[in-house]
């Protein structure tokens, strides 16, 4: 399956618009920070549109939580802080990218491409390109490189995002009024994460 | 003493290096602990910080005089300059601006462009800290304690703080009176 | 081929040359234990070997406390060489419900098919005994488990004994013909069976809905097993695989027959000519086995023996004298025994009520499946002799002959050259996938109009040989044979054959116990399944086979453990993604994903490498879906499972770190409990007793504040016991009863 070599700008912009759910977890899995946002680049409005209905937003948390299994494994086999794409939840095409701070806090970014309205027909076969990197070699992905959650470009953009969040996370952790392991309520931090998201994703 | 000379002393005085983040964290932790101990009664926390500062100031003045080797100030304006350009410079490596003098030269403001004590700090978002807590109130106490040892009774308080969302961090200092020599310092 | 018309007493099929030891005793062996010396010696030795050196797993099992019910079954499960480690699961051992069981189920589903062609008088005799379907129906359930060990020799001559060998008897007239009378496809029928099963069992299953094997791994639910069984026996015989094709044909007459030899000849003729013969893609070279059913009550045994001797002279050694009583047995008879239930009923049989005669037991005697003990013993002995002395040697021999005559030629230089030239012929362009390749590239053996190979073409023979090897459980040989032919089918654009060979190649690889240690390349297995699935589904639109292929992938990869379980989970998700299953199937596959992940257990002191959170999540999702499907009992079982899975990864209080997860799970628990009680006739809105903890005000009020409730553990059991007193269930005994639920 050859990757598309077309100029990304020629590709329908809607395909770029990912939805993101970013979570920071303490080393003991307590969530410290959550934020949902969407693609801002290329004309995106920065609003997340997950595939789950409004009533099922818990799915983001379930998926992120379940990826900790993989993360725990990856952190032993991978020495770097940025662990890249570690997990996929195929039914919802949710990709998880992880970043591990030296103190053990976990930054997890769930990204989900938008539902492509039946370009491959309404049969069950259409969704098969969602099966992640392994095994799905027979079917071409309809997404462009930029919208491909596992492409090197995406990995790099997420790395920048993670690094910027990490810098701000350190500052936040230095706030004497912030108790380690507690939820980060700082609006300043939220603003900065949002800005980082706008800047890189 | 000319203003230029004062600045030079501030630049030249050698200080032992202490990691700024350590100081910042230490102070921040103290404040956070006080807030917790006083159950977020920020009036009390302010008072306590001021008292701690007073005790520090009474001791710090000796060190200050020894290190800087400065002599007696001619007037309160001189004192203000000394505080801003030598005292803060030596101990916090910042130089607040002295401004807003009253016409009788007994009250002035220190405007802090930066405040190492408040680095990284965000006040608790409990809806009151923003209005009640003066995070750096220890500085007021330090000035009061130090100046008292050199026969000046002053009153100092913050009037604004960027931590609260204000545009500037401003401390108002007022000279109450010069103390006669025979007066022993009151025990706090 | 020998026909009964030839009077000379020669061995029937020319290709069959049985070993001397095996034909030493020609008289019907009455006792299942009776085996020829070399084989039983083998088996005994093997047993001794495996006792002295049990695998690491079995020693672990032995140390663990067993549930009372399973002690018996374990002791009854004697080990056989090599299999003690990996693949023996006796079929009698249904309670032992782990992945071994599923492996055994899969292996047994690919049993040799034996057609049964009985004379009218035989069927009449048997009908009088209460079996409406005649002789075939009578012996069918007994064939599913051949009593005693069955020793099979593989292609390199080493023997292995199997406890769980079986054969599948089919009605001769039904071979290759799709079951009539129903217009829904097999998948829809399966879904219907599942729903029916659910409706009849929901509320009755209670806490026993899910068992766990001794290691505490999540077991296969009975429902899931049913599903798999249905799937594996749903399809009629097809040209592209020979599993449904007869390996042997049992031709039966009774002692009542006035013209026995003439009838036998006629029955034989039916198998080669006329409208009863199997479809033309079925290889006619199968074993003929002649049975004389002697009526113990009405006919003279000396007469029958005389006739039997005559039969042996005519047809050779593949004969049997089966002595049955002709009167019907009823429950009240002294030596009555219930006929075992058929394990392998196709969906349509399930739906038409076959095997449900049990329900009629109380209503009357008509149609109740009871047999005299003596009859059952005779039938078992007959089947054992049929399988051990005729069918297995026949198949071993066939494999050896084909391997020698067809496969080795194909493997040799010329064969490779043939295949190469076929591949490169055509237009001289390099692409064998191009359209051009097909014109010059195919062998010409494939009938692309009717979509099958002639049964004598090398392709069909090799496929049959691979299937024989597979059914003889010689997976090494079957793997290499499928491997050899799989691309040929692609060249011929015989896509179903192509899919089938890829599918069975992967399955053989996974079943081969010798490849367990060697790191079989999971990638290549995945690739084989991928190709098979693509050919089935996209090229042939054959959803039932695609589903079978993926389900086999899921179960076998799961049973491999380790990183294969993740592939298994992936395939299970693929099944759901493709929409191959109906709504109940979707939930079952959600459970399956959970089970796959649960199999991947953490290792090392750091406890990483597990997939507990993933397994837990999928269990929760399954619970949610069961609830939506109106099955609170099953939902509750899934919740309990989820709780168990999450226990290791959550904080000690069992609270989920993430608030939205927590509230979702809390709400789910609450809803499941309410529905469960409502389904049981308790009014959940108004608690019947003041101490009843299910009061809705209390629960809803506390719902948000509580971190966690261990709600449903043990609940069904207590309700079954007829009390609402919420004492902790057995699983809770290690925890003090300190849950919120208690205090509520």
State pLDDT tens for residues A105-136. Answer: 999 999 888 876 544 333 333 333 333 333 33
Q: Is the pLDDT reported for residue C334 higher than 90?
A: no
Q: Is the dihedral of CA C370, C222, C169, C89 positive or negative?
A: negative
Q: Quick one: pLDDT at residue C741?
A: 40
pLDDT tens-digit series, residues C246-279: 999 999 999 998 999 899 999 999 888 877 788 8
Q: Quick one: pLDDT at residue C659?
A: 84
Mean pLDDT value of segment B4-8: 75
Nearest Cα neighbor of A21 from A158, A139, A156, A125 is: A158
A187 touches chain B (CB under 8 A): yes
Q: Is the pLDDT reported for residue C587 higher than 80?
A: yes
Tell me which of C657, C662, C666, C669 to substitute to probe the interface with A (most A C-beta atoms closer than 10 Å).
C657
Q: Is the pLDDT reported for residue C677 higher than 60?
A: yes
Q: Where does C407-458 show beta strands of DSSP type E?
A: 446-447, 452-453
Domain boundaries, chain C: 112-179+239-329+369-395
Are the C-beta atoms of residues B107 and B23 closer than 8 Å to each other?
no
Q: Quick one: pLDDT at residue C724?
A: 38
Q: Quick one: pLDDT at residue C702?
A: 36
**Burial (Cβ within 10 Å: 0-12, 13-18, ≥19) of residue C328:** middle
Indicate yes or no: CB of C538 within 8 angstroms of CB of A91. Answer: no
**Architecture of the domain delimited by C112-179+239-329+369-395:** 3-Layer(aba) Sandwich (3.40)
Q: Quick one: pLDDT at residue C518?
A: 53
pLDDT tens-digit series, residues A57-84: 789 999 999 999 888 888 887 778 898 8
Q: Is the pLDDT reported for residue C167 higher than 90?
A: yes
Nearest Cα neighbor of C98 from C49, C59, C57, C68 is: C57
pLDDT tens-digit series, residues A130-180: 333 333 333 333 333 346 777 888 889 999 999 999 999 999 988 888 888
Q: Quick one: pLDDT at residue C177?
A: 67
Please report how the helices C475-491 and C495-511 are oriented relative to each other, as an axis angle in degrees rounded to 10: 160
Q: Quick one: pLDDT at residue A117?
A: 54
Cα separation of C44 and A149, whole Å?
A: 59
Nearest Cα neighbor of C388 from C706, C25, C2 is: C25
Report strand pairing: B107-112 vs B169-178: antiparallel
Report strand pairing: B107-112 vs C150-153: unpaired
Q: Strand, helix or coil at C9?
A: coil
Tell me which of A25, A28, A33, A124 to substitute to probe the interface with C (most C C-beta atoms closer than 10 Å).
A124
More confident residue, C708 or C562: C562
Confidence of residue C740 (pLDDT cuts 50, 70, 90): very low
pLDDT tens-digit series, residues C8-52: 443 333 333 333 333 333 344 444 444 434 443 344 444 444 433
pLDDT tens-digit series, residues B83-120: 999 999 988 889 999 999 999 999 999 999 999 999 88
Q: Is the pLDDT reported for residue A183 higher than 70?
A: yes
Cα separation of B148 and C110, whole Å?
A: 99
Nearest Cα neighbor of C232 from C389, C344, C394 is: C344
* Residue of chain C minimizing CA distance to A90: C573
Write out chain C residues lying below 8 Å of A104, CB-based: none
Q: Which of C570, C661, C663 sits opposite A131 (nearest CB)?
A: C570
Q: Quick one: pLDDT at residue C656?
A: 84
Nearest Cα neighbor of C626 from C636, C617, C640 is: C636
Q: Quick one: pLDDT at residue C185?
A: 77
- Residues 105-124 on B with a CB inside 8 Å of A are 119-124
Q: Is the pLDDT reported for residue B130 higher than 80?
A: yes
* Residue of chain C minimizing CA distance to A26: C657
- Chain B closest CA to A71's CA: distance in Å? 30
Indicate yes or no: CB of A125 within 8 angstroms of CB of C538. Answer: yes
* Residue of chain C minimizing CA distance to A24: C658
Indicate yes or no: CB of B35 within 8 angstroms of CB of A185. Answer: no
Write out chain B residues lying below 8 Å of A182, CB-based: none
A172 touches chain B (CB under 8 A): yes
Nearest Cα neighbor of A197 from A173, A163, A171, A161 is: A161
Q: Quick one: pLDDT at residue C201?
A: 63
DSSP assignment of B101-168 equals --TTSSEEEEEES--GGGTT-----SSSHHHH--TTTHHHHHHHHHHHHTTEEEEEEEEE-GGGT-SS
Report strand pairing: C246-254 vs C113-118: parallel
- Chain B closest CA to A27's CA: distance in Å? 22
Are the C-beta atoms of residues C437 and C491 closer than 8 Å to each other?
yes
Q: Is the pLDDT reported for residue C696 higher than 90?
A: no
Q: Quick one: pLDDT at residue C129?
A: 87
Confidence of residue C655 (pLDDT cuts 50, 70, 90): confident
Q: Cβ–Cβ contacts within 10 Å for residue C330, how many?
A: 12
Indicate yes or no: CB of C613 within 8 angstroms of CB of A30. Answer: no
> What is the predicted ipTM?
0.81
Write out chain C residues lying below 8 Å of A88, CB-based: none
* DSSP for residue C489: H
Write out chain B residues lying below 8 Å of A185, CB-based: 125
Residues of C within an 8 Å Cβ radius of A: 526-527, 530-531, 534, 537-538, 567, 570, 573-574, 576-580, 597, 606, 608-614, 616-617, 620-621, 649, 651, 656-661, 663-664
Percent of chain C residues topping a pLDDT of 90: 31
Evaluate if pTM is beyond 0.90.
no
- Average pLDDT score over chain C: 73
Residues in contact with C492: Cβ distance below 8 Å, sequence separation at least 6, in sequence order: C438, C441, C442, C443, C445, C446, C448, C459
Q: Quick one: pLDDT at residue C17?
A: 37
Tell me which of C608, C618, C667 to substitute to probe the interface with A (most A C-beta atoms closer than 10 Å).
C608
Q: Is the dihedral of CA C354, C359, C365, C368 positive or negative?
A: positive
- Chain A closest CA to B1's CA: distance in Å? 40
Q: Cβ–Cβ contacts within 10 Å for residue A42, how many?
A: 15
Indicate yes or no: CB of A65 within 8 angstroms of CB of C617. Answer: yes
Q: Quick one: pLDDT at residue B139?
A: 95
Cα C661–chain centre separation: 38
Tell me which of B34, B121, B122, B132 to substitute to probe the interface with A (most A C-beta atoms closer than 10 Å).
B122
- Chain C closest CA to A197's CA: distance in Å? 22
Mean pLDDT value of segment C578-598: 90
Indicate yes or no: CB of A176 within 8 angstroms of CB of B21. Answer: no
Which domains does chain A show, CATH number per domain?
A: 2-200 (3.30.450.70)
Q: Which of A37-46, A150-159, B18-27, C236-245 has the lowest mean pLDDT?
A: A37-46
Q: Which of C570, C577, C664 sits opposite A124 (nearest CB)?
A: C577
Q: Distance of CA C271 to CAs C238, C266, C282, Å? A: 18, 9, 11
The distance in angstroms from the start CA to the end CA of chain A is 26
């Amino acid at each position: 399956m050859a990757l598309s070599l077309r100029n990304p700008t020629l590709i329908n912009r809607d395909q770029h618009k990912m939805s993101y759910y970013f979570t920071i977890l303490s080393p003991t899995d307590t969530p410290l920070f959550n934020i949902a946002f969407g693609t801002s680049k290329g004309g995106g409005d920065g609003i997340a549109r997950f595939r789950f209905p409004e009533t099922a937003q818990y799915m983001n948390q379930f998926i992120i939580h379940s990826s900790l299994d993989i993360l725990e494994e990856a952190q032993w086999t991978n020495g770097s802080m940025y662990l890249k794409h570690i997990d996929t939840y195929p039914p919802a095409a949710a990709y998880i990218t992880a970043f591990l701070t030296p103190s053990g806090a976990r930054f997890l970014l769930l990204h989900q491409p938008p539902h492509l309205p039946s370009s491959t027909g309404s049969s069950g076969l259409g969704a098969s390109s969602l099966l992640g990197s392994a095994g799905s070699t027979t079917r071409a992905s309809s997404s462009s490189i930029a919208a491909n959650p596992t492409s090197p470009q995406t990995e790099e953009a997420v790395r920048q995002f993670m690094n910027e969040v990490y810098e701000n996370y350190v500052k936040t952790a230095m706030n004497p009024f912030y108790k380690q392991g507690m939820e980060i309520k700082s609006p300043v931090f939220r603003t900065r994460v949002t800005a980082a998201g706008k800047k890189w994703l | 003493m000319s203003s230029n000379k004062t600045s030079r002393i501030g630049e030249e005085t050698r200080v032992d290096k202490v990691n700024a983040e350590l100081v910042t964290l230490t102070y921040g932790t103290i404040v956070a602990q006080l807030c917790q101990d006083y159950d977020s009664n920020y009036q009390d926390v302010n008072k306590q910080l001021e008292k701690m500062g007073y005790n520090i100031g009474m001791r710090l003045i000796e060190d200050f005089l020894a290190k800087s080797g400065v002599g007696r100030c001619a007037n309160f304006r001189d004192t203000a300059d000394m505080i801003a350009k030598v005292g803060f410079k030596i101990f916090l490596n910042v130089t607040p601006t002295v401004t807003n003098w009253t016409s009788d030269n007994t009250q002035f403001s220190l405007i802090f462009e930066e405040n190492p004590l408040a680095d990284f700090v965000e006040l608790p978002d409990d809806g009151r800290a923003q209005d009640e807590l003066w995070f750096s109130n220890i500085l007021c106490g330090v000035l009061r304690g130090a100046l008292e040892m050199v026969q000046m009774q002053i009153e100092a308080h913050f009037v604004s703080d960027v931590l609260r969302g204000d545009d500037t961090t401003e401390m108002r200092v007022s000279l109450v009176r010069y103390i006669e020599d025979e007066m022993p310092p009151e025990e706090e | 081929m020998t026909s009964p018309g030839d009077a000379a007493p020669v061995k029937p099929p020319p290709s069959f040359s049985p070993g001397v030891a095996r034909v030493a005793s020609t008289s019907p062996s009455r006792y299942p234990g009776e085996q020829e010396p070399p084989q039983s010696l083998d088996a005994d030795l093997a047993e001794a070997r495996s006792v002295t050196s049990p695998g690491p797993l079995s020693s672990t099992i032995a140390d663990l406390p067993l549930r009372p019910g399973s002690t018996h079954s374990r002791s009854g499960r004697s080990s056989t060489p090599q299999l003690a480690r990996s693949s023996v699961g006796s079929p009698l051992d249904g309670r032992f419900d782990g992945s071994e069981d599923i492996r055994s189920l899969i292996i047994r589903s690919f049993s040799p098919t034996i057609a049964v062609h009985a004379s009218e008088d035989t069927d009449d005799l048997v009908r009088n005994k209460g079996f409406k379907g005649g002789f075939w129906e009578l012996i069918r359930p007994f064939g599913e488990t051949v009593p005693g060990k069955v020793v099979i020799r593989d292609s390199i001559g080493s023997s292995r004994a199997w406890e769980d060998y079986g054969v599948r008897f089919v009605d001769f007239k039904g071979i290759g013909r799709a079951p009539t009378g129903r217009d829904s496809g097999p998948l829809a029928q399966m879904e219907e069976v599942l729903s029916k099963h659910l409706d009849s069992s929901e509320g009755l299953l209670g806490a026993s809905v899910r068992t766990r094997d001794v290691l505490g791994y999540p077991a296969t639910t009975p429902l899931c097993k049913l599903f798999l069984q249905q799937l594996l026996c749903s399809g009629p015989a097809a040209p592209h695989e020979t599993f449904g094709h007869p390996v042997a044909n049992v031709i039966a007459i009774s002692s009542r027959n006035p013209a026995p030899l003439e009838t036998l000849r006629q029955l034989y003729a039916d198998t080669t000519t006329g409208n009863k013969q199997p479809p033309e893609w079925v290889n006619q070279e199968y074993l003929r086995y002649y049975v004389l059913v002697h009526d113990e009550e009405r006919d003279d045994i000396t007469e029958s023996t005389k006739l039997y001797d005559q039969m042996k002279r005519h047809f050779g050694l593949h004969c049997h004298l089966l002595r049955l009583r002709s009167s019907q047995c009823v429950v009240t008879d002294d030596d009555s025994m219930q006929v075992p239930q058929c394990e392998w009923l196709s969906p349509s049989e399930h739906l038409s009520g076959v095997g449900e005669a049990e329900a009629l037991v109380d209503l009357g005697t008509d149609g109740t499946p009871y047999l005299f003990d003596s009859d059952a013993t005779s039938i078992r002995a007959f089947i054992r002799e049929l399988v051990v002395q005729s069918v297995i040697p026949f198949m071993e021999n066939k494999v050896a002959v084909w391997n020698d005559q067809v496969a080795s030629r194909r493997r040799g230089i010329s064969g490779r050259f043939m295949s190469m030239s076929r591949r490169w012929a055509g237009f001289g362009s390099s692409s064998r996938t191009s359209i051009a390749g097909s014109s010059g590239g195919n062998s010409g053996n494939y009938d692309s109009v009717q979509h099958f190979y002639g049964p004598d073409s090398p392709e069909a023979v090799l496929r049959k040989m691979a299937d024989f090897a597979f059914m003889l459980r010689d997976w090494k040989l079957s793997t290499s044979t499928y491997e050899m032919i799989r691309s040929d089918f692609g060249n011929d654009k015989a896509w179903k054959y192509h899919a089938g060979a890829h599918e069975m190649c992967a399955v053989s690889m996974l079943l081969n116990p010798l490849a367990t240690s060697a790191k079989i390349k999971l990638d290549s297995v995945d690739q084989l399944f991928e190709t098979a699935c693509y050919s089935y589904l996209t090229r042939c639109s054959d959803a039932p086979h695609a589903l079978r292929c993926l389900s086999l992938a899921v179960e076998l990869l799961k049973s491999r453990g380790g990183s294969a379980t993740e592939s298994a989970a992936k395939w299970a998700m693929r099944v759901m993604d493709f929409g191959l299953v109906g709504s109940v199937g979707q939930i079952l596959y959600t459970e399956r994903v959970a089970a796959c992940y649960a199999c991947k257990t953490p290792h090392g002191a750091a406890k990483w490498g597990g997939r507990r959170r993933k397994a837990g999540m999928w269990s929760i999702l399954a619970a949610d879906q069961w609830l939506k499907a109106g099955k609170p009992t099953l939902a509750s079982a899934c919740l309990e499972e989820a709780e168990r899975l999450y226990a290791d990864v959550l904080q000690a209080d069992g609270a989920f770190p993430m608030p939205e997860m927590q509230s979702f799970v809390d709400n789910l628990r609450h809803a499941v409990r309410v529905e469960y009680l409502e389904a049981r006739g308790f009014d959940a809105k108004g608690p019947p007793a003041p101490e009843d903890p299910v009061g809705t005000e209390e629960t809803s009020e506390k719902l948000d504040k509580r971190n966690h409730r261990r709600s449903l553990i043990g609940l069904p059991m207590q309700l079954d016991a007829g009390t609402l007193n919420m004492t902790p269930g057995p699983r809770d005994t290690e925890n003090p009863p300190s849950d919120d639920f208690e205090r509520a």
